[in-house]
Amino acid sequence: MIGANVSAFSIGKAVGRGGGGPAPFSLTYAVQAGGASGGSGATVGGGGGGGLLTATDSSTYVKNTAYSVTVGAGGSGFGGTVNSRGNNGSNSTFAGHTSTGGGGGGYGGSYGVGSGGCGGGTGYYGAPVGTGIAGPPRQGYNGGNGSPTGPGYGAGGGGGTASAGVNGTSSDGGNGGAGTQISASGLTQKYGEGGGGGSYGPVGLGGGNNSTGGGGNGGNGTSVVVQAGGTNSGGGGGGNAGPDGGAGGSGIILLIYPTSVTATFSAGVTSSSSTHSGNTVTQITAAGASDTVTFG
């Protein structure tokens, strides 16, 4: 579900390269890292979304050359462990462009909070928040701060690729930061939402809009169950008021190139393709450290 607070990232055209050698073609990439998990304990912050790098390049990519591709995993949850900050997500890479996994949500003030592509939200003791990578190029935004007062002791939301996580209040957990829609792809998915902050009362929402495809909602330890980040969204997991902060969502790589160009992948790659506005849009949903794509 796409909320009104989603920012569209419209990708422009780059200037081509002159000279000899193989003729380059125009390629747009979006490299989304894995999101972080929310913290686990007495109210804890949402996990930060994985960092996002995206650009269009008409002068670099040529046929018959292998380029590296790696899709990062989301940060794992806790399986019942309490009083721990969330686990950072893993990096994603295309052709040397590496986006950084999200920062784990924080438990309390003395247990730390994670920084990464997007920063994790803090627990109820508050500052400092987890920081995102401001760049240039920017990969994401900071997490939100938690409230040290009750009755809700709301934790901060994790940062997203389009905006910072929202601060928790004395009654509510903070919403996660918004994700980014890659408008050049024709896809409606948001990438890199922050997870919502936990609370003993109303919880923070993933990406600020109760999304099921990006950042996970926070939990209150009883009636509201914490959510994980969406698969291949790079969304952060929700924070909780109790054990089991939500796991982070795995990353993804989008490649957009002319339909006259083909792509061949090494054996470890899982991908799917469609067409949009005269281009092929390839979604790489799994790829290991030694995997590649070669264009022809």
Give the per-residue pLDDT at 204. 80
Higher pLDDT, 284 or 206: 284
Q: What is the pLDDT of residue 201?
A: 87
pLDDT digits (tens, 9 = 90+) for 5-60: 333 333 333 333 445 678 999 999 999 999 999 988 788 899 999 999 999 999 99
Between vectors from CA 191 to CA 223 and to CA 87, what angle results, nearest 5°? 60
**What's the helix, strand, coil split of the chain in %, to 5?**
0, 20, 75
59 CB-contact burial (10 Å; exposed 0-12 / middle 13-18 / buried 19+) = middle
- Residues 140-169 as b or e (16 or more Cβ within 10 Å = b): bbbbbbbbeeeebbbbbbbbbbbbbbbbbb
Higher pLDDT, 41 or 277: 277
Query: Measured between alpha carbons, how far is 236 from 251 in angstroms, rounded to an integer?
Result: 11
What is the rounded distance in angstroms from the CA atom of residue 32 to the CA atom of residue 93?
Answer: 8
Please give the average per-residue pLDDT across 209-225, as a whole number.
71
- Say if residues 148 and 161 touch (Cβ distance below 8 Å): no
pLDDT of 123 above 90: no
Name the pLDDT band for 225 (thresholds 50, 70, 90): confident
Residue 9 pairs in a beta bridge with 182
- Report d(CA 10, CA 114) in Å as an integer: 29
- In angstroms, the Cα distances linking 91 to 85, 127, 252 are 19, 26, 10
Average pLDDT of the chain is 87
Strands 190-191 and 252-258: unpaired
Coil, helix or strand at residue 183: helix
Report how far residue 163's alpha carbon sits from residue 84's, in angstroms, rounded to the nearest whole number: 25
**What band does 144 get if pLDDT is binned at 50, 70 and 90?**
very high
- The pLDDT assigned to 79 comes to 61
Highest mean pLDDT among 82-91, 95-104, 222-231: 95-104
